[in-house]
Structure formats: structure tokens, C-alpha cells
Amino acid sequence: MSTLPVILLLSGSLRAGSTNEAVLRTARAVARDLGVRTLFYPGLADLPHFNPDDDTDPLPAEVAGLRGAIARATGVLVCTPEYAGTLPGSFKNLLDWTVGGTEICDKPVGWVTAAAPGRGQGAEDTLRTVLGYTGAAVTEAACVRIPVQQAMIGSDGLVDDPDVRRRLGEVLRTLTAQEGR
């Protein structure tokens, strides 16, 4: 069993070629260099619509998978777009499924806002509110704005800008430093 920290990467975007996913793929590459394991949650589109009547055992398989991934992680890193001034509905749905569980309680959580300057505040505000209801330990120093444009993403799907990579490394180090606190 590995003792390396594991950061769960949650993308709030369903869009193919999303800058948000590129940021998280880049975080995954940076994490390897830091000795941090990552787990990319791929099931955003597969989650059923949240219904409190279904938030009982046995949970829908997709929800059990989400909660299991959160439970295995030592921290969570989110990168989500803003849509219509808030979180995309599909990502809010994912978060709604975490409210009834205890897996994210006291777990260090941070986010990267990749939106252009002047955008993304509504998503951040909603994310902060919902994470408050889950009991997550929002780690302020790991909640950053790192604007990423499509032109910064290489053919390998990774952001090649050294400053972006450095800043992602700082976020990952901050989240892993919170482990066990």
C-alpha cells in the first residue's frame, strides 16, 4: 500500500478539450514530479440526477464510485468553469451527491479557476457555499486563479507554460501539507 498522498482531481466541465481538464491533466503531470499520486474522477456525465430519496444504501453505483474516490483521496482539487454566473449544473449535481456522505468532511479541498480575468467569481462563490455544507476543509492557499487560454495547451493536452506548472505545484504542495491536520 502506497503512503504517497492522493489528490482527487474533479473537473466541472463536460466539454471535450476543456481548459479545465487541461489544467487538471497538467496538475497530474506536475504531481508525479512531486511524488504525489492523483486520481482523476471521470464520471461527471454518468452521475444520476440528485434525488434525496436515492441517497440511501445501496447508493447508485456511480455515486458509490464518486464517494469511494473521495474517501481514498487525502485531498481534492477542483477545476470548473463558470456557466451562467455559477457552477455548471452537472458539477453542482456532483457536489449535491457529496452532501449526504461524510467522505469529504474535513478533507483539504482547493480549486483552480482557469477563467480569464474578471470571470469565474460566481462559480467560486457557489463552490465555497456548497463545500461549506459538505464539511470540506477549504484550504484558502490552494484556491487560486491561474488563467489558461486554449493557445497555452499543447498537442499533448497539457499546459506547457512554466509559470502555470509552478503555480499548480504550489497548490498541490499546499493540499498535501494539510493531510492529517
pLDDT in tens, 143-166: 999 999 999 999 999 999 999 999
The confidence score (pLDDT) of residue 16 equals 87
The reply to whether 72 falls in a domain is: yes
Q: What is the rounded CA–CA span in Å between residue 59 and residue 11? A: 22
Tell me the CATH number at 62: 3.40.50.360
How many CA atoms lie less than 13 Å away from 177 in the CB half-sphere?
A: 10
The reply to whether 1 falls in a domain is: no
The reply to whether 28 falls in a domain is: yes
- Domain span at residue 111 reads 6-177
Helices (H) and strands (E) in the chain, counts: 5, 5
Residue 147 near residue 19 (C-beta atoms within 8 A): no
Q: Output the average pLDDT for the chain.
A: 95
Number of domains the chain contains: 1
The confidence score (pLDDT) of residue 60 equals 97
Q: How confident is the model at residue 181 (pLDDT cuts 50, 70, 90)?
A: low
Q: What is the pLDDT of residues 121-140, one digit of tens each?
A: 999 999 999 999 999 999 99
Q: What is the rounded CA–CA span in Å between residue 181 and residue 178? A: 6
The reply to whether 152 falls in a domain is: yes
Q: Sign of dihedral through CA atoms 139, 39, 94, 148?
A: positive
The reply to whether 53 falls in a domain is: yes
